[in-house]
Homo-oligomer: A and B are copies of this chain.
């Protein structure tokens, strides 16, 4: 690997210059006026894949923005890795808060500032450049590789989902390598191996058939807001456990190893709370904050409304009150099953005086790659070699729907090797990417191909 690593070191400046060219393209997927830029960005990626040494590169037009596909399958008997990423970026508003123009990449200290720097052009580019390093030094890769770089990640990946299902043979692989998440902290090699799922419900409570005067009727009729509030209070017990019967049945318990891995991170609950204005944290009894937000299911009201919500005093007893209530799920909870259990529980606790309507609005599966998975282990080893530091393992509390689709459609292990930082202003003005992490990412990518090939 010495030649590969030397090549990466020696071409550091050129790699950065090429990344600048990539960042100059205003490939904002959501704005129609940037449609031509989307084609330009796709072409740029395709050209770079070709130049890196892949022997089949193709741009697939879709009903939206194009998908760029590339492959090199010259290592028979060896595993196949699919690299996924996206070349589209978020809009730049509010433009006046940028200290340098969003599409004029500017280096300040260790960081390169531009829209898309960390999300996701910089991270996509790492893998192109590690592939190039292999081809230029060895004329080949230690395994088979496929690239799938899309242009609609920021607008829901609609056409990718269709493409995945229709082209599962073309995309067949053993592992999906994705760099679109973050390091746990600067300079800390990190593998994200689990994501939470989601079950998002709406509960509507109807009391009287019309709004009533609280003077004339108050005290004699069920008030849907009071009833809904009481029902919500019956969803979580005093220890922070969710009271929906059967809710925890399929929850994968945190292993001793995982809890140890989280402890190693020396996460400061105090600092984390202070940043969001909280002196005291809460949650499920018996778990640390990291365990609660990464590996335990939750129940949160995301919205509630009913009655008079304007200024001042209106003495109404409303006919209806509604709440949006979502549960973050963990492996191996099934969002459809949880939706049914939730509805059953709500119906059970609803008093007979009111009518209750329960609607399922959205669901998503959780995902986890076992720590013992070959791809996960190779990812961790690779980062450790690149960073010369022990890799940490984290989970992510949110969902990344496309990861679940890859895992389920292609039956391949996702490896989330994110090199970004949550502080790098993704989706905000002054997005940036740390160029040291960019360099370490290229090396991590190269080591991964080597390690996973063995």
Q: Fill in one digit per residue for A306-322: 1 if any B CB lies within 8 Å of its CB, else 0.
A: 11111011111110011
Answer yes or no: A73 CB below 8 A from chain B CBs.
Answer: no
Taking a contact as CB atoms closer than 8 A, the residue among B214, B230, B314 that contacts A232 in the complex is B230
Output the least CB separation between A294 and chain B (Å). Answer: 9
Taking a contact as CB atoms closer than 8 A, the residue among B298, B312, B323 that contacts A225 in the complex is B323
Q: Fill in one digit per residue for A293-306: 1 if any B CB lies within 8 Å of its CB, else 0.
A: 10011111111111
Answer yes or no: A99 CB below 8 A from chain B CBs.
Answer: no
Answer yes or no: A175 CB below 8 A from chain B CBs.
Answer: no
- Copy tally for this chain in the complex stands at 2
Residue pair A282, B353 in contact (C-beta under 8 Å): yes
Answer yes or no: A223 CB below 8 A from chain B CBs.
Answer: yes
Residue pair B208, A328 in contact (C-beta under 8 Å): no
Answer yes or no: A209 CB below 8 A from chain B CBs.
Answer: yes
8 Å CB contacts to B: which residues of A196-244? 196, 198, 200, 207-210, 212-223, 225-226, 228-230, 232-236
Output the least CB separation between A349 and chain B (Å). Answer: 11
Residue pair B399, A215 in contact (C-beta under 8 Å): yes
Answer yes or no: A324 CB below 8 A from chain B CBs.
Answer: yes
Bound complex: CA A351 to CA B279 (Å): 12
Most buried by B among A214, A220, A225, A322: A220
Answer yes or no: A281 CB below 8 A from chain B CBs.
Answer: yes
Answer yes or no: A254 CB below 8 A from chain B CBs.
Answer: no
Answer yes or no: A123 CB below 8 A from chain B CBs.
Answer: no
Residue pair B209, A276 in contact (C-beta under 8 Å): yes
Residue pair A207, B301 in contact (C-beta under 8 Å): no
Contacts of A198 in B (CB 8 A): 215, 315
Answer yes or no: A12 CB below 8 A from chain B CBs.
Answer: no
Query: Chain A interface (Cβ within 8 Å of chain B)?
Result: 196, 198, 200, 207-210, 212-223, 225-226, 228-230, 232-236, 272-273, 276-284, 289, 292-293, 296-310, 312-318, 321-324, 326, 328, 351-353, 361-362, 396-399
13 A-B contact pairs sorted by A residue (CB < 8 Å): A198-B215, A208-B277, A216-B398, A217-B276, A219-B293, A220-B281, A225-B232, A226-B235, A229-B229, A229-B230, A230-B232, A303-B314, A314-B324
3 nearest interchain CB pairs? A215-B398, A209-B277, A225-B301
Q: Can you name 15 extra interface pairs (CB under 8 A) apart from A214-B328, A303-B306?
A: A200-B313, A214-B298, A215-B396, A216-B396, A219-B298, A220-B289, A221-B281, A222-B278, A229-B304, A302-B314, A302-B317, A304-B305, A305-B309, A312-B362, A314-B324
